[in-house]
Each structure stands twice: as C-alpha cells, then as structure tokens.
Amino acid sequence: MAENKKATIYDVARASGVSRQTVSRVINNRPDVANETRTRVLDVIMKMDYRPSAVAQSLSRQKSYLLGVVSAGLQYIGPSVTLKGIVDQAESMGYGLILKTVSSFDVHDVVPILNFFHAHHVDGIIWAVPEIGENRKWLTLDNINNDIPIIFMAMDQDKHVSVVAIDNIQGGRLATRHLIDRGCQSIGHISGPMDWLDSRHRKLGWNLTMKEAGFSISDKMCVEGNWSSKSGKNAFHQLIKQFPEMDGLFVANDQMALSVFQSAFELGISIPNQLKVVGFDGIPESEFYSPSLTTIYQNLEDLGCTAVNELVNLIEKKKNTTNENDYQIVKIKPKLIIRQSTQ
C-alpha cells in the first residue's frame, strides 16, 4: 500500500478474504462474526492502519444486514431448493436471514408479516411465495410501508414491483418446439393448476408455439392436473380418451410426467415410439427412469441466488421500489435437457 494512499474497507476485505459486509460487522462490533474471522480482520485493519470515517460508521450502523424471507410449501422440492439458494447467497454476501413461513400458498393477511419484518429492521424482503389466485391483492393496501425494498418471485410483470422469476413461457416454448422438431403433429398438454401463474405461463408457451407452427388448438388437447403424480395419471387417461391421435405430450412438471410413463405402459402405448413426452422441472429422478425423461430444467437454486443479488443491489443503491424507474424484472432462462422419452 503506497504511503499516500489510504486503505479502504474494500482493501481490508480483500486482504482478509471476507466480504465488505463482514468487515463492517467487525468494525461495528456485531456479535454475528466468528471469533477467528474477527481476529483476522482486526489484524489486517491494524497492519493497513485502516481508519473508517465517522460518516461511514454512522451509515453502516443504520443497516441491520438482515433480510426477511417469506416462503411456503417447504415440504416440496421447488420451494426448498429455492430457499437453499437464498440462504447460500445471503451468507456469502454477509447478510443474515429472518424466515417467515405461511401455512398456504394462497396467503392474504400479510400485514402482520410485514410489521414483524419492520420491527426487526430488515434491510429488504424476498417474497418467495408464488402468485396464486388473488394472493397479491394486498399490494394495493394503503397501509403497507414501502420504505423497505421487496423482491417478488413468480409474479406477473404487469404489477409495479421488482420480480425475479423463471421464464416459464420460454420453457413452454422450448418443450413444444422440441416435440415439433421431433416430428410430432398432435401435441397435447397436461397443465398444472390454472390458478397458478406458473401453470398459465407454461401453457401459454405451448399455445403460442403451436399456433406459430400452424397447428390449431382445441380444448380436447389439454387437461389440468394439480402437480401430483396421481393427478398426472388421471389427466393422461382423460387426455388419451378425448385426444387419441396425440403423438406428443408436454407435461407441466416432471412429477406428473413420470406418472404418464406407467399409465402409457398399462395402455400399451410405447414411449417414445408412439408418444414422445417432455416434462418440466429437471428433478434428479427424471434421469433414472426407463425411458429417461426429456425435461425443461429450471435452476431454482440460481433463482434464489439471483433474488438475493437483486435485493442487495436495491439496498446498496438505496433504491425506492415505489419509484417506477427502479422496478426490475429478471427472468431466469430454463434449459432443454434431451433424453430417451423423445429420442
């Protein structure tokens, strides 16, 4: 370090091998720092003769380095994987988490949750509950404090909020385009529950791609499931009765798609010779069925990481989510994984 150049907090962070937030915690004598880390950072501060300004210290103390997270359905793979991404990324950026879970996805009474986070002085909130039915009506409440930035996950883009979500429309397009490229002429769809935004967007991707390819769409080509294996089996039996010419099938999640395999076998339908099947999710089990399942992989861990990154950006830049210019829409692109069920 040159004598005429004062060390910065970033210099200390690099030399200590920690984040800037961790250095700030040590300076402000925060308890949530490991003793070994605290000792290492203090040694570097002494060696570099780092002297934080009074203004910087004052500003730092105004931040809690805590993020609030609202989640639901942690017994399911998707929400739990997403939460893992949130936890890992928040920890790597020097933020702690306060988690609130709601008993159902269709949550309406959110004022107590938001008041709880405000009372604990969180710097920002990640709303990791998907948009279902009318569970976003509370956004219009006048008594919601908008001083704390909020990132929403799986929300429609027409609302004036910041959103991080999987691009489900693109995923539906990828699945349908792949079936068309494999020579399928009669492509059906088993959707998820249609009060879910994810289901509607995946179905929209199927619908748009079919029409763009010159295929007509009718009600007999689509049946609704509820994400479960049982609903996938029931939907397939109904679909094959009303749409017997079907030679391609896009299923809105892997769990329902894998149940199609057993049902098709029982009906004497060969996959992929008579019927090609594409799922959505990329769950680990999909690779180990026979035939293995072609699927649209959504990286939910990356979704959680990205939500944290976007929220911290809003916090660091002191953005106000009530300012229209500050709204962020970030889409995570899904990926087509081709396996035996369409080959």
Assess whether pLDDT exceeds 80 at residue 57: no
Q: Mean of the pLDDT values across residues 178-184?
A: 97
Task: Name the least confident of 127-136, 198-207, 263-272, 283-292.
Answer: 127-136
Domain 66-167+301-332 belongs to what architecture? 3-Layer(aba) Sandwich (3.40)
List, for residues 186-202, the tens digit of each pLDDT value. 999 999 999 999 999 99
Task: Name the least confident of 147-156, 167-176, 199-208, 324-333.
Answer: 324-333
Q: Give the separation between CA 173 and CA 175, rounded to whole angstroms.
A: 5
The predicted structure's pLDDT at residue 320: 46
8 Å CB contact between 278 and 179 = yes
Assign 100 to helix, strand or coil: strand
Average confidence score pLDDT of the chain:
87
Q: Mean of the pLDDT values across residues 163-187?
A: 97
The predicted structure's pLDDT at residue 198: 93
Report residue 198 as tokens. 């994810």
Q: Please state, as a whole number, how many other Cβ atoms lie within 10 Å of the Cβ of residue 306.
A: 21
C-alpha angle 68-69-74 in degrees, rounded to nearest 5: 155
The predicted structure's pLDDT at residue 157: 67
The predicted structure's pLDDT at residue 136: 76
pLDDT band at 265 (very low <50, low <70, confident <90, very high): very high
Assess whether pLDDT exceeds 50 at residue 322: no
Q: What is the dihedral of CA 90, 95, 98, 102, to 10 degrees?
A: -30
Task: Name the least confident of 79-88, 144-153, 194-203, 306-315.
Answer: 144-153
Say which CATH class 168-299+337-342 falls into: alpha beta
The predicted structure's pLDDT at residue 142: 53
If one compares 295 and 290, the residue with the highest pLDDT of the two is: 295
Assess whether pLDDT exceeds 50 at residue 164: yes
Task: Spell 240-255 as b/e; 16+ CB within 10 A means b.
Answer: beebeebbbbbbbbbb
List, for residues 4-50, the tens digit of each pLDDT value. 467 888 888 999 999 888 888 787 767 678 888 988 988 898 888 88
Report residue 99 as tokens. 């988690």
The predicted structure's pLDDT at residue 315: 87
The predicted structure's pLDDT at residue 1: 45
Burial class (CB in 10 A: 0-12, 13-18, 19+), 317: exposed
Render 207-261 in DSSP notation, one character per residue. Answer: HHHHHHTT----GGGEEE--SSHHHHHHHHHHHHHH-TT--EEEESSHHHHHHHH
User: Which residue has tokens 């739990």?
Assistant: 80
What's the Cα-to-Cα distance from 16 to each of 22, 34, 60, 262, rounded to whole Å?
A: 10, 13, 19, 56
User: Dmax over Cα atoms in the chain, in whole Å?
Assistant: 82
The predicted structure's pLDDT at residue 62: 62
Nearest to 150 by CA among 182, 134, 128, 170: 128
User: CATH 3.40.50.2300: which residues of the chain?
Assistant: 66-167+301-332, 168-299+337-342
pTM of the model: 0.77
What percent of the chain has a predicted confidence (pLDDT) above 70? Answer: 88
The predicted structure's pLDDT at residue 144: 53
User: CATH 1.10.260.40: which residues of the chain?
Assistant: 9-61
List, for residues 213-246, the tens digit of each pLDDT value. 999 999 999 999 999 999 999 999 999 999 999 9
- CATH fold of 9-61: 434 Repressor (Amino-terminal Domain) (1.10.260)
8 Å CB contact between 125 and 90 = no
Could you give phi then psi for residue 132, rounded to 5 degrees? -135, 130
Residue 239 one-letter amino acid? L
Could you give phi then psi for residue 169, rounded to 5 degrees? -65, -45
Q: How far is CA 141 from the centre of its chain?
A: 25
8 Å CB contact between 54 and 109 = no
List, for residues 79-135, the tens digit of each pLDDT value. 889 999 999 999 999 899 999 988 887 777 787 888 888 878 899 999 998 888 877
